[in-house]
């Protein structure tokens, strides 16, 4: 667990997902995260897969998010590097297909907070759970704005 705490502290200094969390909050969060690794070019999720919800923070490596177009081409929507997040939060399990494909561009390590663990945090520490959800909303808002700016530049 100390390794996870140290990783979160490092990411916190780099203006990542964890930037707004206090030391006390990090101590509460750390035991709920686990590490997941993917080799370069691994397909982490395919468009249409039924995935369990959760939040995944990139520790190292880079993830490519792609969407299949109606013409059969892959459109790169985003690249997510160190400190960035990926995930579907609080979805009904196995009912919503994942809307994009996710590939490891190089070796990737994630800190993963599974949906079950997130629900535990929300129940046991509601203020911290709300803070997590607000941070996810903030990150997704920024990502959406960047995507819209890219798309506007195309037209």
pLDDT for 107-143, tens place per residue?
A: 999 999 998 999 999 999 999 999 999 988 888 888 8
pTM: 0.87
Report, as an integer, the average pLDDT of 90-116.
Answer: 83
Count other Cβ atoms within 10 Å, centred on residue 82: 16
What CATH number does the domain containing 22 carry?
Answer: 2.60.120.10
Whether the per-residue pLDDT at 53 is higher than 80: the answer is no
pLDDT attached to residue 50 = 66
Domain with 64 in it: 2-154
Total domain count, the chain = 1
* Closest to 133 in 3D by CA, of 77, 54, 63: 54
pLDDT attached to residue 151 = 76
Report, as an integer, the average pLDDT of 83-97.
Answer: 70
Of all helices (H) and strands (E), which one includes residue 29? helix 23-29
């Amino acid at each position: 667990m100390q390794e996870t705490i140290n990783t979160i502290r490092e990411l916190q200094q780099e203006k990542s997902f964890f930037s707004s969390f206090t030391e006390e909050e990090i101590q509460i969060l750390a035991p709920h995260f686990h590490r997941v690794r993917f080799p370069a070019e691994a397909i982490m999720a395919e468009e249409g897969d039924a995935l369990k919800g959760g939040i995944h923070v990139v520790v190292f490596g880079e993830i490519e998010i792609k969407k299949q177009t109606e013409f059969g081409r892959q459109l790169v929507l985003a690249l997510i590097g160190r400190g960035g997040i990926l995930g579907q939060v609080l979805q009904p399990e196995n009912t919503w297909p994942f809307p994009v494909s996710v590939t490891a561009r190089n070796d990737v390590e994630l800190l993963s907070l599974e949906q079950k663990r997130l629900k535990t945090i929300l129940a046991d520490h509601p203020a911290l759970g709300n803070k997590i959800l607000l941070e996810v909303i903030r990150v997704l808002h920024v990502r959406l704005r960047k995507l819209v700016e890219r798309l506007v530049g195309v037209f």
